[in-house]
């Protein structure tokens, strides 16, 4: 039996669920799971279905195109492990959590490599038998450094997602354009609060009672890309900003791995700088 994930978004109109379900029914497909959402304010319809049966992927896609509005975005995906590249700098916690989950078989991913602008994490990554590539930024402009990274990434046959596991450099518009909605970042604050550098220090100075972490897709506005996952923990007046930073690392790694899992399972729709997640 073939299994497919069907992702559809379109302008909303009556009967869309019936039309899709009819295609499934008339082709003897069993619906294993199904989720729908209508954004009434923007008149947008979203649907994610997992179906199983004896049908070709391209045939199912064509049948859905015949019944859906012309403006519909339709994807029919055969579940398989996706290819990811992780980028990191010096911090180990977010990277380590992903590598451990991958080793335990919790992620539907092939980790092609870990790329870093420093060599500090090389021996750690080697323990997981994953290629580690150091591309130093020393003596290079941001554009020159990124060009070297892009050349390296182009050497891989296919990359589904790039994961920034505490990669502490801002990406240029050129990089973002090449991998639009495919670069997943972890930011160490509960966005939109405390954008940019030293968010824990910003939070301490503001006297907040909760701190958090946000995983989002990267766009050309610093820390303002579509949000995928967030989490918070409580703090109080007794915490220094360094105490907050230490506590925050636990939240960061969990949120990043959660966001990556959602992406690997094709559960994310990006629309109007927001996400719909099933």
Concatenated DSSP letters of the chain: -EEEEEEEEEE--TTHHHHHHHHHHHTT-EEEEEEEEEETTTTEEEEEEEEEES--HHHHHHHHHHHS-TT-EEEEE---PEEEEEEE-S--HHHHHHHHHHHTT-SSEEEEEEEESSSTTHHHHHTTT--EEE---TT--HHHHHHHHHHHHHTSS--SEEEESS--SPPPHHHHHHTTT-EEEEESS-TTSS-SS-HHHHHHHHT-SEEEEEEEE--SSTT-SPEEEEEEEE--TT--HHHHHHHHHHHHHHHHHHHHHHHHTT-EEEETTEEEE-
Which residues does the annotation mark as catalytic?
A: 223
């Amino acid at each position: 039996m073939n299994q497919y994930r069907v992702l559809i978004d379109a302008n909303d109109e009556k009967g869309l669920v019936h039309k899709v379900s009819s295609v499934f029914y008339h082709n003897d497909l069993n619906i294993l799971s199904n989720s729908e959402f209508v954004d009434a304010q923007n008149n947008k319809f979203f649907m994610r279905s997992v179906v199983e049966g004896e049908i070709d992927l391209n045939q199912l896609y064509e049948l859905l195109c015949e019944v859906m509005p012309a403006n519909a975005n339709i994807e029919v995906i055969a579940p398989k492990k996706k290819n990811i590249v992780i980028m990191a700098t010096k911090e180990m916690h977010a990277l380590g959590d992903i590598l451990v989950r991958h080793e335990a078989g919790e992620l539907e991913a092939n980790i092609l490599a870990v790329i870093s602008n420093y060599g500090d994490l090389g021996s750690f990554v080697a323990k997981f038998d994953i290629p580690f590539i150091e591309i130093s930024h020393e003596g290079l402009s941001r554009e020159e450094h990124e060009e070297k990274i892009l050349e390296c990434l182009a050497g891989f046959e296919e990359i589904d997602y790039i994961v920034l596991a505490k990669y502490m450099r801002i990406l240029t518009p050129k990089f973002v354009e090449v991998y639009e909605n495919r670069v997943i970042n972890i930011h160490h604050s509960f966005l939109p609060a405390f954008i940019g550098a030293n968010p824990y220090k910003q939070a301490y100075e503001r006297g907040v009672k909760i701190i958090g972490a946000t995983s989002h897709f990267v766009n050309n506005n610093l820390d303002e890309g579509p949000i995928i996952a967030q989490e918070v923990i409580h703090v109080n007046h007794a915490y220094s900003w360094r105490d907050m930073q230490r506590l925050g690392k636990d939240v960061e790694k969990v949120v990043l791995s959660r966001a990556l899992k959602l992406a690997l399972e094709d559960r994310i729709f990006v629309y109007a700088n927001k996400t719909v997640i099933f």
